[in-house]
Structure 1
């Protein structure tokens, strides 16, 4: 969650318009469902919500599942704020329903910390963590509790094939910094059904750095990781080769090898501007010190040939037989070698091939909707849902496989003043396993919505 502008979508009208990009969107959506409704241009204009919370297209409705400051149903404290990345899992048993795991990107001094719960707290000085909700088929909340506490700056993450959540700390705080008693910058595994089965154990072999998101290769168990470093040298793209691949809950604790991507002759991915550019036989280099005991990983010596960096490495997801990752933007003024308004890369592990799939901008209109997209998820219709994180009105936008952008939701909770209104960004968009409900967070004030309606399938 950076305040820096991340302009990817552009030229969007009230009902959707062409995206300013070059490249192949088909590759972005590789592996998504083929849907009868994928060619449609969205769901129509947004209808103002009389309750002033969430505007949706006609025929859609929302339910507020959870709000910052309300009592947790577990009695462990109050619902934390800064609601960020999230994933949905099938509820146990045959009754249907959904389990949600929700990140809280709290740092020291946050408004509403994750309550410290015994056996689930990593560091008493940490105020971040996750909460878990269990829902009935009709999205009635059956339970809400702390899933992990005492972490810091829990931004995004990703689900595993064995139905756990890997929550990522987007920080590099050390023990002794601020109020922290332990090092931070790790990934933690969270069991959405019974958090005590995973506890609060850092997966140290997966590296200590400013994590953003992960994606797991369901065939090999390899975990891909993005690093959203805020200053130059920028982040790296990693893979983790577990010693117990696809071993189920807790198997990642057994350790493994952390490696970083090296593209020969390309120290900065921003210099690659032509969609369709292919790098064959890219290499992976062992990280010298994954724990970054004395030197952050991106500063470490990777030997002859160096290593490949990129600004704002954020989204990461698996589609088809490849992993996709996003560089939200790159600016020379911030230290990048070149400018762009967003790249989507695809890595094919079988061919060891890296391809630049899409480049956005730079002829985008920064004043139009679609500013600063953040969290993304695959939609039932075969396209994407994208959370907006920028200035002015905040939206969830849909992106069809044909490249059409359309508004799906608009936040109406004013966190500013009547004279200078502000709206909290969206985060954590995800769909129920049966694709009948979209779940999404408002970051501030922390609010989790369930959205139902006539989804295209």
Structure 2
């Protein structure tokens, strides 16, 4: 390749966050707040006239497929709406594959004969909707799994759904999951859900048994990058190298190799704490020898949930605080450390591992370089980011999981952060949060979930061209 073309390709692959974005890290000069789309105001839901979201002028929305309602086949919509992806459907429709982060041995929804574990209540649903959130048809697509938190869309028209748990009959009970002895299968795996048919409910065991959160696919190499959300303990950033390129295979194959990210020259580098402005690290990968450990003697949940991560850290892998959302864009995997960073003056450290209010990291797949692109200076700027997606202009959309008001916030290519949407407080459900943000085909509609006691999905549309999405 000619030198000039090589340099141009490298610059393009570097992704949108450079220069000023790195200065947004804790301790550095910060860009001025981005103007975004303007002041947020209460907007009525086109479904029933109730105010559920606050949005800028010109934006509208409709909610749909709430927990407790019925799918097209007559079965009941489960709760805990979480990660989601959008795919092009026929006649300008959108196909959504949506996770349900249900914990405990509460029984499978939908057809129990198709369930991975008939005792487990999580899984995914697939919905065909219009650009304005009108449901054409819907139904279960994966059931009998557990704590399906997030995942990632795949270019062969599939969703990889991630279980954020290691519950099973071979593991002690967790603090909120109920009696694990009632489960029939081990959990903590990846499951592939095709867009056009029900899932096979076969776990990808070689991709690890740990509290998975998100999956981001690199089409140039076939690697699948994975985040770990270990609430009380350190988390790691992984990649799964399948035995055959998934695009060639037409699916994600089991039998590959799992690795965990390390910082070169710094064994067990603790990146969960506040970082200097422009923090950037050369990285390496540590092999995980036993990605699917066979638990004997029914160890405690606290022991089992660390079994894979401890292998990586024993080999020098880096430490993060609660890795959640991840998205691939232009050769870069952007991923979120929900509780990473330094504790700002006046802020109370959140419970669990990590004392900050959130970091956004970028891993350059083409160079192996890890960069910090944003670290929250205080909870009022960004409060515990969770799921993440990217707009056509390269702006990240961050779902918050904070203690007070929860927002959808934008993080621009130059490191500016702005408010786009605020969740109307739900009086009897202070823990309600945004999740599963994803742009539909063509960027006309932003689909997003609210995880709540009675969670629901939303379609949001309006004058995107007026701002930074």
Q: Who is 1:283 aligned against?
A: 284
Residue 119 of structure 1 deviates from its aligned partner by 5.5
Question: 1:107 and 1:65 mapped to 2: Cα distance?
Answer: 23
Equivalent of residue 193 in structure 2, options 190, 193, 201: 190
Residue 402 of structure 1 deviates from its aligned partner by 4.3
- Residue segments in structure 2 that go unaligned for 5+ positions in a row: 1-17, 25-33, 171-179, 296-303, 344-348
Q: Who is 2:42 aligned against?
A: 47
Q: Who is 2:461 aligned against?
A: 452
CA separation of 1:249 and 1:59: change in aligned 2, threshold 3 A: farther
- The reply on whether 1:379 has 2:391 as its aligned counterpart is yes
Residue 298 of structure 1 deviates from its aligned partner by 1.4
Larger RCO (alpha carbons 8 Å, 6+ apart) = 1
Q: Who is 1:11 aligned against?
A: none
Superposed counterparts of 1:46-445, under 5 Å: 46-49=41-44, 51-75=50-74, 77-91=75-89, 93=90, 95-108=91-104, 115-118=109-112, 120-176=114-170, 177-195=180-198, 198-232=199-233, 234-247=234-247, 251-263=251-263, 264-267=265-268, 268-270=270-272, 273-280=275-282, 282-294=283-295, 296-300=307-311, 305-330=315-340, 340-361=356-377, 364=378, 366=379, 368=380, 370-412=382-424, 414-416=426-428, 422=430, 424-444=432-452, 445=454
Question: 2:313 and 2:130 mapped to 1: Cα distance?
Answer: 50
CA separation of 1:453 and 1:249: change in aligned 2, threshold 3 A: farther
TM-score (structure 2 length as normaliser): 0.79
The RMSD of aligned alpha carbons is 2.9
CA separation of 1:350 and 1:437: change in aligned 2, threshold 3 A: closer
Question: 1:401 and 1:247 mapped to 2: Cα distance?
Answer: 29
- Residue segments in structure 1 that go unaligned for 5+ positions in a row: 1-21, 29-38
Residue 440 of structure 1 deviates from its aligned partner by 0.9
2:252 match: secondary structure: helix
TM-score (structure 1 length as normaliser): 0.81
> Which aligned runs of 4 or more in structure 1 are off by greater than 4 angstroms?
331-336
More helix by share: 2
Question: 2:381 and 2:41 mapped to 1: Cα distance?
Answer: 13
Count how many residue pairs are aligned between Structure 1 and Structure 2: 408
